[in-house]
Each structure stands twice: as C-alpha cells, then as structure tokens.
Copies of this chain bind each other. A is one copy, B any other.
C-alpha cells in the first residue's frame, strides 16, 4: 500500500495541494498573452488607448521583448490590438468588433465554489479596506467615474465597465497585491459569467448595489461598504449557481 508510508497518513487537508500547485501556469508566451488580454478585458486599457511600448512592457512583465512581441502578434491576429510604427506609434487596443461569445467549457462545481469563495473574501475585504482609508480627491473622482460609466453602459460593454469598477474599488485600498488578486479572481469570474446570459433586471439591481457600495466607501463607512458588497457578490453567486448547476 504505497500511501501508508510512515511519514504519510497524516491529514494534509489540501494545504500541500495548495503549496505544490504548478509553479507556472504555462509558458512565458501564453502567460504574456493572458496578461495583456486581462488588461483589455478588464477595461484597464480601453479601445483606442495605447499599451506601454514594447520595451517598457517587456521589462514590467519580466519577459524578453521577443516573447512579448510574439504575444502581441497573436493578439493582433485575433483582432484585439493594432500596432503602428514610427515615433508616436505603438500598440493600440482595437474596437471590440469581436462578438461570438467565446463559449468555454462549463466550469466544474469545485472551480465555481473556489472562485466564488475567494471572490467574496477579496471583494468584501477590499470594500471594507477602501472605506477605511481617506481617499485622495483624484481617487474619489476615479471611483465615481467608474461608477457612472458602468451605470451608463450598454449591455455589450457592461462586463468590462463592471470589472473596471470593481477594480477601482480595489485600487482605492492602495495595496498592489490586493489589486492584483482582485483582478485575477475577476478574470476567472468573467470566464464563468460568459457562460450565462446578461439579464436587464440583474443589471438594474447591480447598478443600485454599486451605488450603495461606492457611497459607503466615499463616506468612509466600512461596515456598510462590506455589507453592501457582500450582498452584491452573493447576488452574482446565486445567479451563477442557478445557471451552472
């Protein structure tokens, strides 16, 4: 019985699975594509905007320029970006003419629970942490701008502006690791949301909750901010569980 060595047999309860998870999600090229795509899909760089120059972006992403260029080339071929040469050139995000919802495989129940749990922890925590800070005027404006943009978004842009708003809340915490974690969990969430329809009543409801959350943050009320975010997140969770199970 190979699983009963003297040193085994102790409850590792998933901690070792978490620690001995893959060191890298894919090769450098794939991860670079994913990261740039993430920035586009989360609305951090919008249509018409320019990505950092290849040289700068390669340094920031910690990959060689060659690898970054290959990633950009495949994004070009997929219609996500366009490059222009010459001074004041660069790589620009294209208008999202692509429709045809990229129907991924339905997530497993474990994956769903995992994402929803992590999301609840991160986003309610971020809302509370943001409300605990005294925000700079610029940060307050940014938050409000994201809220307004999301509320006024047509259906086909809603996912992006919604993501951008949630990211803005994380940004208000001024904790880079938390921002990155929220961005990552949001990306996983969006992949799941792509598998279910976007219903107008849900949008209405979301917008009202967004307003509550942002107001609580701007008012510096962490308790309300957390509770409002918890309700908001629970709504999405119920929606997803309803459609995917």
Interface residues of A (CB under 8 A from B): 5, 7-8, 10-25, 28, 31-32, 35, 38-39, 42, 44-45, 48-50, 52, 57, 60-63, 88, 90, 92, 110, 113-115, 117-118, 120-122, 124-126, 128-129, 138-139, 141-142, 145, 167-168, 170-171, 173-181, 183, 185
Shortest Cβ gap from A127 to chain B (Å): 10
Residues of B near A88 (CB, < 8 A) are: 5
Say yes or no: A118 contacts B168, CB within 8 Å: no
B39 adjacent to A32 (CB under 8 Å): no
| SS of A interface (majority) | helix
Number of copies: 2
- Tell which of B8, B28, B50, B90 touches A23, judged by Cβ atoms closer than 8 Å: B28
Closest to A50 in B: B7
What is the minimal beta-carbon distance from A195 to any residue of chain B, in angstroms? 19
In this complex, what residue of B is CB-closest to A133? B117
Taking a contact as CB atoms closer than 8 A, the residue among B61, B125, B139, B170 that contacts A20 in the complex is B61
Bound-complex Cα distance A129 to B121 (A): 8
Q: Once the chains bind, are B18 and A35 in contact (CB under 8 Å)?
A: no
Contact in complex: B61, A22 (CB < 8 Å):
yes
> Could you say which residues of chain B place their CB within 8 Å of the CB of A11?
138, 141-142, 145
Query: Which of chain B's residues has its CB closest to A30's CB?
Result: B23
B52, B171, B185: the one contacting A13 at CB < 8 Å is B171
A-B CB contact pairs (8 Å), 7 listed: A11-B138, A15-B168, A16-B45, A18-B179, A18-B183, A19-B180, A23-B35
